[in-house]
Structure 1
Amino acid sequence: MNIQPYLIPAHPIQFEEEIKKSTFITYLAHTPTVDQAKQFVDKIKSIHSDARHNCWGFVAGRPEDSMKWGFSDDGEPSGTAGKPILAQLSGSGVGEITAVVTRYYGGIRLGTGGLVKAYGGGVQQALKQLQTIEKKITTQLRVELDYGFMPIAQSLIAQYGAFEVNAEYGVDVVLIIEIEVREVESFTQNMINKSGARAIITPFTGK
C-alpha cells in the first residue's frame, strides 16, 4: 500500500475552443472510483447527446495506478482521442480525475495528427486551470489511556495533524483518532514513551 499523499481535483473545470469550425468542449471532474468516472462520462454524454463524439479518459485512483485507467475514442479514428486524453491525465500527477471532450463536428476533417493535437491540447489547457488539493492516506487508531494522560494525547493528536473521531469516558478514556498512515509509527512510539508505556494503541477496526 502506497501511503504517500497525492493530488486530486478541487473543482470541476470546463474549457472550450474552436478548431477548424469544430467545437471542442473539455470537462474535468473529481471521480474517486471507476464507477464514478463512468457515471460522469454518461452525464456529459446525456448533456451533449447531439454531439458527434464524446471522447474520454480517466485516472480513477492514485495517479500511478494504471489498473484504474480507462479511455475511449467514441467513434474517432483509433488512438486519436482517448489515448491523447489519458496521456495528459496520467502525465499530470493528479489522481481521481476524469476528462470528457465533446466534439461538435464543423465539416472540416482534422486528420489523425490534428485530432490528437485537438483532444490532447484541450485537456492540457483545462489542466492548466485546474486547482488541486492533497489527498492524505489515513487510518484509525484506538487509544486507551488514563485520564491523566489526556493532555499529552491531545497535544500529540494536534502535533500529528490527526483528529478525534470518537471518545468514550469510562474507567479509562478510549479515543478513536484518524491519522495519516505514514505518521502512525511515530505517533504510537511518542504516545507510549510519554505515557510510560501505559497508553494502549491498536488499529481500530470499527468494532
Structure 2
Amino acid sequence: MADVSYNIPDLRPGEVFRVEQTIKRSRFIASVGHTPGVEEAKAFIEQIKAEFEDARHNCWAYCAGAAGSTDRIGASDDGEPHGTAGRPMLTAVTHSGIGEVTVVVTRYFGGILLGTGGLVKAYQSSVKMALEAVPTRIRTKTKRIKFSVEHRFVNQVLRKIETANGRILEKNFDMDADFDVEIPEDLAETFAKELEELTRGALLIEFVEE
C-alpha cells in the first residue's frame, strides 16, 4: 500500500518515454520508465542496455518508492568517471517530485571531451529534461488484491476494475481468470464485496500486505 499520494510516470509496464539532446556532438538519450519496485527498475535498466548495447555508457538512476524517498534508490556511472553521472542523475530524480521512476541516460561520444563538470551537467540536465516532459499521474493510497474468478465473469470484472479506478498489475487466463490489481484504499472493501456478490461466493481472494 502506498503511504502517500505522489506523482508517478503515466506509462505502462515496459513502456519507454524518451528525450534526447546533443552536447558538443555527444548524444545523450534519456529513457524513462515507471518502476514501482527495485526488481522492475533493474529489469528496465537491462531493457534499455539491450536496446543500446552498442553504446559505451548506459548510466542510470532510480527511485523505486515514493517521490523523494531514499530507501529504494540506486545509481550507476556505468564506466564514466566516478561521480559524473549516477549521483548527479539520482539527485535530479529525487528532487523531481516523481516516484517509482527509473531513468537511463545513454551516451554516444561525439569526439569532444566534456570534462568532469561538463559530464555532470550533461547527465543531470538530461534527467531533468526527461522528467519535466514525461506524462505523470497521481498515485493514491491503494490496496493490492489478488483474486481468481471463472472466465464467464471476466468482462464484468474488468468493468468493475475500471469503475474503481483500479490498475491491473498482472492477469492470467489459464484454468481460471487470475487477477493481481491495485484498488484505491477507500474503495477496496466495496470492490471485494462486489466481486463476492457477482460470483455468488465462487471466488478466491487475497488482500496482499506490502
1:51 and 2:64 matched: no
Partner of 1:8 in structure 2?
Answer: 8
What secondary structure is seen at the aligned counterpart in 1 of 2:192? strand
- Kindly report structure 1 stretches of 4+ aligned residues shifted beyond 4 Å: none
Larger Rg: 1
Ranges in structure 1 where 5+ consecutive residues have no aligned partner? 141-156, 175-203
Deviation track 1:161-180 (CA, whole Å, cap 9, x = no partner) reads 625233446xxx99xxxxxx
1:98 and 2:102 matched: yes
**Aligned CA-pair RMSD:** 2.5
CA distance in 2, matches of 1:4, 1:55: 29
What secondary structure is seen at the aligned counterpart in 1 of 2:78? coil
Count of aligned pairs: 157
Partner of 1:164 in structure 2?
Answer: 191
What secondary structure is seen at the aligned counterpart in 1 of 2:121? helix
User: Residue 3 of structure 1: CA displacement?
Assistant: 3.0
Partner of 1:39 in structure 2?
Answer: 43
CA distance in 2, matches of 1:95, 1:71: 15
TM-score, with normalisation over the residues of structure 2?
0.68
User: Residue 2 of structure 1: CA displacement?
Assistant: 6.8
1:78 and 2:73 matched: no
User: Residue 29 of structure 1: CA displacement?
Assistant: 0.8
Residue type of the alignment partner of 1:119: Y
Ranges in structure 2 where 5+ consecutive residues have no aligned partner? 145-163, 165-184
Kindly, what percent of the aligned residue pairs are identical?
A: 45
TM-score, with normalisation over the residues of structure 1?
0.69
Does the 8 Å CA contact 2:2/2:140 hold for their aligned counterparts? no
Partner of 1:145 in structure 2?
Answer: none
CA distance in 1, matches of 2:142, 2:100: 17
User: Residue 136 of structure 1: CA displacement?
Assistant: 1.3
Partner of 2:72 in structure 1?
Answer: 68
Deviation track 1:20-44 (CA, whole Å, cap 9, x = no partner) reads 1111100011001101101111111
